[in-house]
Structure 1
Amino acid sequence: MAAVVMMAPLTASAQQRGRTDGPEGSEYGKGGYSRASDSRFSLEFNWGAAFAADATTVRRGSVPLFFGGTASLWGAEWYQFDLSGAYVLQNGQWSVLAGPRFRTYGFPVSLNVGLKAGGFFIPDTGLRFGLSPQVGVDLFAANERLVLGLGYALDIPIVGSGDFRGIMNRLFMNVGYRF
């Protein structure tokens, strides 16, 4: 009996090495599990309400809405770099902004905060540099590819001392897809 017990390790060492025939990205072989972080790029459509801080710059009877889009490069689940553009119907203001957005870990809901900088074209004033701090919440759906969100942004073009033309409060929704 002792001879059988002592020979058991010898048969184990005589076996061939394990095979890694599994498809890449599966739990078999060296591929590991596929994750949503493989999606490094996303596109979003943004729309919502936009209210001017200075009501005297707004045309009478204008609609307080805006629409825009955002292209994002995801560095990780907690960080992304955004390039976005928006048009405000209320006063005809355009903006093109770029900057980071930081997210909390969470599934399917995560909070985010970001700071974008870029150009604002303000009618009757011209092109100005500005900042746009943003906060929001995102919901991931459809295998973590579909992104639905709510957000708030304060657009602050740097115009001049005591001049509030172009400052906008934007409350928005977004729908996007991670590729």
Structure 2
Amino acid sequence: MKRLTRLWKAAPLVAAMVIPLSAQAQGRGRTDGPEGSEYGKGGYSRVSENRFSLELNWGAAFAAETSRMNRGGPPLFVGATASFWGADWYQFDISGAYVLQNEQLNVLVGPRFRTYGFPLSFNAGLKAGAFIVPDEGFRFGISPQVGVDMLMASERVVLGLGYALDIPFADHGLTNRVFMNIGYRF
């Protein structure tokens, strides 16, 4: 009986010596990522270093009213977009577009939200800004937009398709734009 009592008294001492030795053997964690990317031992954040992007936009643009089509231009537009990527799911855009058919110039700013998905994601946004309409001058308006984009080449190249409805706050001037874009994140 005395041996069993001694064994129970010695067990906590042995445990007190073994537990710190096993914790010490674990040591420091190892990470192979960039400095500051660790969440704990061995974990990485998904925050991208590529916070800005520039895109070229082009495609078809159709004025909704036949009176605006008499200018003789083809139903095309060209444009560019500069974006700040707050996260992989959120962007803030500044864009400009020139519609050849009705000679309208748009300068728009606003957010765009993206779904999670790699490499393909859907997006929706609402931009607001200036619509410079010939013979009428400056108008304020909005442009709801939807699209799909794909990240390629280490998440630096952006390819996309989109639709925008340009709505200047005037008596007329609606324009439908269907477009493609290619961009680069840096």
SS, match of residue 48 in structure 2: helix
Where does the alignment leave 5 or more consecutive residues of structure 2 unmatched?
A: 1-13
Q: Looking at secondary structure, tell me which structure has more helix per residue.
A: 2
Distance in 2 (CA, whole Å) between partners of 1:167 and 1:141 is 34
Alignment match of 1:18 (pick from 16, 19, 28):
28
What TM-score comes out, normalization by structure 1 length?
0.83
Specify the structure having the higher radius of gyration (Cα): 2
* 8 Å CA contact 1:25, 1:32 repeated in 2: no
Identity of aligned residues (%): 66
CA contact (8 A) 2:159 2:182 kept: yes
**Aligned residue type for 1:138:** D
Structure 1 portions without partners, runs of 5+: 1-5
1:168 maps to which residue? 175
In 2: Cα distance, 1:14 partner to 1:101 partner = 49
TM-score of the two chains, using structure 2 as the length reference = 0.80
Matches within 5 A, 1:139-178: 139-159=150-170, 163-164=171-172, 166-178=173-185
* Cα shift at 1:14: 6.3
Look up the SS of the partner of 1:43 in the other structure: strand
Structure 1 contact 116–131 (Cα < 8 Å) conserved: yes
How many residue pairs were aligned? 173
Give distance in 1, aligned partners of 2:128 and 2:85.
18
Cα RMSD for the two superposed structures:
2.9
Measured at CA, do residues 51 and 21 of structure 1 come closer, stay the same or move farther in structure 2, by a change above 3 Å?
closer
**Of 74, 80, 92, which aligns to 1:69?**
80
Q: Give the drift of 1:11.
A: 4.9
